[in-house]
Structure 1
Amino acid sequence: MLTRLLEIHVAYQYYIRLIFLQLYVHWWDFSVSIPELMQSLNHLVVSGKVLALGISDTPAWVVTKANEYARNHGLRQFSVYQGRWNASIRDLEREIIPMCREEGMGIVPWGVLGGGAFKTEEQRQKATSGGRKVEPTENDIKVSRALESVAVRKNTIITNVAQAYVSSKSTYVFPLVGCRTVQHLKDNIDALSVHLNDEDIKEIDGAAPFDLGFPGNFLAPTYHLTGDVKPVFALAMGGTMDYVADPKPFSRE
């Protein structure tokens, strides 16, 4: 991980041919202090070599603490988070996405297409050659069926629905997807025009179980993404409470 000033400087020199960088801390190694990290990164920002800071594959508490330190010391904060998130692997929804919403950070999910695990029944039967070989989990198969069902209604392909799914669940989501062919590139562009509604999202969410975990499932199990919060049970005994829902992404119908 690029944490110490010397390591960051050496890495920057490798890309010196660029006018400026958008710099990511690629993953957290549990060995550096928050002050050292943020001071080192900010050194490149104030020197004009880096415009924006991002971080990926890092616990929510680390990112929150780092941004709080940056705010308190007049340093550049992390503005985007990159992590694994798709319709089958939804761990990011527990702490990371609510954190990004509160910190005003963009979300760059990787693995959006399930690493090739999201396929229609016909595609699985054909077992086409080429590409990444992925043995689907039981959840992958269940989610694929839900994605295929939505894709049929939307007159599109399953991978486009998989991309639209993450883009429809939170604000400022920018899926990180790759392509091996020109057709893949065209499909990725077409995915931008696919819009899902609440029922589509519920169908995909309901395809496989997801445990929000404590304390989320104890306090407000519906709030983590939808903003459809119901009062904490102890407060509900005292009366009716109204909440203002969080903004929905532009791509949501």
Structure 2
Amino acid sequence: MPGDSRRVRGPEESQSPLLYAVPAQLPVGRTGRGAGEPRAVFVRAGLLSHAAGSAYIEAGGTKVLCAVSGPREWGGAGGERRGRLLCDLRWAPFSRAGAWSSSAASSRQAGLLLQESLEASLRLERYPRAELAVWALVLEDRGSALPAAVSCASLALADAGVEMYDLVVGAGLSRGAEGEELRLDPDDSEEEAGATMYLSLLPALNQVSGLLCSGEWEGDTSVAAVRMCMEGCQRLYPVLQQSLVKATKRKIPAPQPQSG
């Protein structure tokens, strides 16, 4: 049977596409950064045009995307004077399941921390009988996905123009099983090795809005861990502010020259 000249003939021998190939081994460990040094961060607000507000954060190999819709009216009780916040935090099936996506109970705890951390920063009394919805999706989990989701969701709410007291910044920390040193912004292998702590902070108010710990923590060690997490939040805060300023400038139309 003659071949179809309108089609490009493929090779007689081919190999599996890259999608199904065995992934290359990524470096394990801190790769030279100190115990109190976070990973490099890329942040962008206003990424999605169809959402009221959106944000994207990439920290090391961890990638989180958030979108916000609302405020819209909901059928609450007659005397409701405060709006309500709905949060949905999920891990993509291809995100390489980490510490928080390994069980449904852990995912519920992560979603609860996200909602509690954000509610403390919102002026919900300015939106009576209104509903704000936040969707956060972890595209890739290489450690510290939960604090990255907190920062990303807060930035998306600010991008949507929601009235807030301050941005919420998240930070994570881990400690080895045998009392090793504290490590800020742990990767996935460090999270699974021992105790972990996740903290949410309103930097301008110096107020902690959320705290979640796993494993065993002693008094002096826990105080040092909280202090290190707060310092990590303060370091990330200017990066989020700059990203929000750039997103706001992109929304402002360019001035048109006046006709003479």
Same-fold status (TM-score > 0.5): no
Structure having the higher helix fraction is 1
Higher relative contact order (CA 8 A, sep 6+): 2
Higher strand share: 2
Larger Rg, first or second structure (1 or 2): 2
